[in-house]
Structure 1
Amino acid sequence: MAVLLAHADRWGVVRELGIAKLTDLTGLNQERLRAHLFKLSEMGFISHKLPGFSSWPLMGKWGSVYFLNLHHPDLRQAYPASSIAVMDSRDECGRCRQTEAGLIVGRAVFQSGQGFAWSHSERGFLGQPSEDCVSDDLARYFLPPVRIDEAAVTVALQFVLNELASSLLSTHWCSLERVTVDDELRKSVRNLLKPSKRCELPMERIDLMLGQAAIALARRVQGMLKPFTELALEACDYRLLPAPALGMAGWDGGQRCVLIRPKNGEPIPAVFVCGESVEHSPTRYELEQYPWLSSPLLTVPKPLTRYGRKSPAGR
């Protein structure tokens, strides 16, 4: 745990620290290391892990990413806890949505790389203003190689989109409606993807598609956050968390979770849960009142819980 904390950023995110590096840093063999990582997840110290992979031209060699739970009771005294916003993201019929990466990778796989076959509403969800904006021939570049699991590719691509959206929310909160895919955003896309230099990819068009999807995600999250009036939202930094591990990569589990820290001053160590209607003020929980933060899955009171287990509130 000490090694992970030493390599984590202020949000508790550890990047590019795969099994090989961890064995060198800890002195443990791979079997014991995996057992320790599993135990840390079971104890709630690691909230999410995104597996690494290689040989996908679009993302080159992708290292594992760990999200440490700095809100864990044994860590929150040493590490200032961010506010957590939990928002209902279900559609009008109360169903979980596919994530942005789920729509991109999942449809590319379903269509065998021949196109995306997005509906009009799905194009809007991804920030595509018209059918001419993104050509279906890009779909083949989002097909995972045979040796790489589709789920691993999907969560990795969603991590990239979450990082882009988090940066947009943090730097362009007041001007987000005017943001476009400029050179700065294109550079951010490529820095996160790290595409293979051995393959020729139409990066200008891929940058545009992923940049538009990230902008649409950021605007959607901004809209969900509007009821959180207790926080000075325009003066905060943001970090979108991965979707809960439901065994369905590419689906959001009916909620979006965001860590929030003020740019200046101390964060409010609390959990704000917004229900089905954005017209209602969120319910605030102090960290001590929200004991299931120590669980490896961040769960919320009904009706948002969709995790195959009951939340403490429902016991």
Structure 2
Amino acid sequence: MEAAARSSSVGGCEGEYFRSKLLAKQLHMVEGTVTSALGELVGAGVVERLESAATGKGRPTISYQIAPQLLALMAAQQCSHAFHSEHLQRLFSEADIPAEILGAQPKPRKERAIVTKHGKPAPPGARSRLNICNRLLLGALLANADQFGVVVGLSNLKLRQLTGLDSESLSHRLQRLRGLGLIRSYVPGATSSIFRTKKVNSTYFLNLNHPGYGLGEVGAILVHWLPQSKVRSDAFDVLWRDVLAFRSPLPPLNRPETPKTVLHFLAHERRAVFDVLRLMLYRCASELLSRHWFDLTRDGEGHYDWLRDRIEAYLQPPAGYSGVDGESDPAWREILSHFCKLVVEIAQAHRARFGMANWIGFDLVQLCILPVLQSEGDEVIALLMQPRPIEASICTILRESSRGDLMPENWGAETEVPLDYRLYCGLLTLPARRLLKR
């Protein structure tokens, strides 16, 4: 359906037709499979089947068109694919998208690899091209991604409904998209009573700059890399350390920096919950950086009413924290204030380190903190910027020396950056071992 709606042979207008043979060629699929899928769409009422009168002894010509009532409905609704329409157009067009596993050893290509054992054309996946099921899954993620390619709130159940995949196939295909570099990384969801929604779905970070799309680079990426002598625990690492010490039956070695109300609030939570919580605070810190880049350092802890509202929308107060006379409990206010303080500290740390690149104009860009999952502490931090400032390269790695000097490495494309750099800086995820063996 996506391919038909976006195909140049359709044009999105009533009265324009397409045929299964052309659609099969564009999608690199067997025509019978496409015809069967179109039959399902006809049965669902979203596509109409048109049969022209036969001329001579030949069979009648079968054409299809998107149902006029569906076109009218789509025209009346706001397009939900505005952010990544070009990516979706490429994904569901006749363009081949390379599908080489990152870091895998290239295999010698055999002539027989382009056909099946029955002598028919092999599916695209057998020729190191992204196949239709993986395109469909990636399309569902793109259609639900924000401008930075971050997918939030999309459950596995919803993904299965959108793609028709079962749980096992969905898991394998998500791993493959990470192995191909089309998904930079992801943070698994978690269930906890501290969240208002109780269950928080996984978050995916898509790579909009993947060369397979054949499009220009989207935005810019900044990475700041500290020398080992300067690496410290960041604000969230301190929170995790204090919670672990609070759980221990032994007296803590150091005085905790986290209030006891917060320690009680998080005392029984698993590490997976903390990873989700960190991501929530990163989103708040990204908004804080985008809105207050220049005055952030002068505000100290700052007074941002909207920030408290954002955090309270994420977190659920424990039972008995309702307070009296409509006022929230003092303990709950202290918990919210501490998380606001953590967000400001995270934003200030990113502002101080990336602000060293004073030749880049940050005043007209939106910023998104990209979590770096491979490194410990604050050694490496990464930031996505849109649109790309004219002073910035597509990808810039800011290496800081032990003396505090900044040594920028400018790259014209992400693919120019060595693979081990990209993996360590959080721009990609190391593929599953089973994929590397293939």
Percent identical: 22
**Corresponding residue for residue 142 of structure 1:** 266
How far apart are 1:184 and its partner, in Å?
1.4
Q: Confirm or deny: 8 A CA contact 1:165 1:215 kept in the other structure.
A: yes
Q: Confirm or deny: 8 A CA contact 2:223 2:397 kept in the other structure.
A: yes
Q: Confirm or deny: 8 A CA contact 2:367 2:385 kept in the other structure.
A: yes
String of CA shifts for 1:23-75, please: whole Å, max 9, x gaps: 11111000100010010111111111111121332463211111111122123
SS state at 2:186 partner:
strand
**2:366 aligned to which of 237, 241, 245:** 237
Letter paired with 1:187:
D
**Corresponding residue for residue 237 of structure 2:** 102
Structure-1-length-normalised TM-score = 0.76
**Corresponding residue for residue 289 of structure 1:** 416
**Corresponding residue for residue 119 of structure 2:** none
Structure-2-length-normalised TM-score = 0.56
**Corresponding residue for residue 48 of structure 1:** 185
**Corresponding residue for residue 380 of structure 2:** 255
Q: Confirm or deny: 8 A CA contact 2:220 2:384 kept in the other structure.
A: yes
Residues 41-190 of structure 1 correspond to what in structure 2 (within 5 A)?
A: 41-58=178-195, 60-75=198-213, 77=215, 80-89=217-226, 93-95=229-231, 97-112=232-247, 123=257, 135-145=259-269, 149-150=270-271, 152-176=272-296, 177-178=298-299, 180-190=302-312
String of CA shifts for 1:214-264, please: whole Å, max 9, x gaps: 111111111111232342123322111112235xxxx3462001112249x
Inter-partner Cα distance in structure 1 for 2:262 and 2:306: 22
C-alpha distance 224-20 of structure 1, shift in aligned 2 (>3 A): same
Inter-partner Cα distance in structure 2 for 1:15 and 1:163: 11
Inter-partner Cα distance in structure 2 for 1:113 and 1:139: 12
Letter paired with 1:227:
M
Inter-partner Cα distance in structure 2 for 1:101 and 1:19: 28
How far apart are 1:280 and its partner, in Å?
2.4
Inter-partner Cα distance in structure 1 for 2:372 and 2:142: 22
Inter-partner Cα distance in structure 1 for 2:317 and 2:291: 29
**Corresponding residue for residue 313 of structure 1:** none
Inter-partner Cα distance in structure 1 for 2:250 and 2:220: 40
SS state at 2:247 partner:
coil
Which structure is higher in RCO with an 8 Å CA cutoff and minimum separation 6? 1
Letter paired with 1:276:
E
Q: Confirm or deny: 8 A CA contact 2:380 2:425 kept in the other structure.
A: no
1:29 aligns with 2:155: no
Aligned length: 277
C-alpha distance 289-230 of structure 1, shift in aligned 2 (>3 A): farther
C-alpha distance 89-258 of structure 1, shift in aligned 2 (>3 A): same
**Corresponding residue for residue 279 of structure 1:** 405
Q: Could you tell me which runs of 5 or more consecutive residues in structure 2 were left unpaired when the two chains were aligned.
A: 1-137, 323-330, 431-438
C-alpha distance 199-3 of structure 1, shift in aligned 2 (>3 A): farther
Inter-partner Cα distance in structure 1 for 2:378 and 2:302: 29
Inter-partner Cα distance in structure 1 for 2:188 and 2:318: 22
String of CA shifts for 1:176-213, please: whole Å, max 9, x gaps: 1216143211001122x242676737431121101111
Q: Confirm or deny: 8 A CA contact 1:108 1:139 kept in the other structure.
A: yes
Inter-partner Cα distance in structure 2 for 1:36 and 1:270: 28
C-alpha distance 61-258 of structure 1, shift in aligned 2 (>3 A): same
Inter-partner Cα distance in structure 2 for 1:173 and 1:39: 37
SS state at 1:174 partner:
coil
Q: Confirm or deny: 8 A CA contact 1:46 1:67 kept in the other structure.
A: yes
Inter-partner Cα distance in structure 1 for 2:345 and 2:250: 21
Q: Confirm or deny: 8 A CA contact 1:261 1:267 kept in the other structure.
A: no
Inter-partner Cα distance in structure 2 for 1:30 and 1:166: 32
Q: Could you tell me which runs of 5 or more consecutive residues in structure 1 were left unpaired when the two chains were aligned.
A: 124-133, 301-306, 308-315
SS state at 2:386 partner:
strand
Letter paired with 1:273:
I
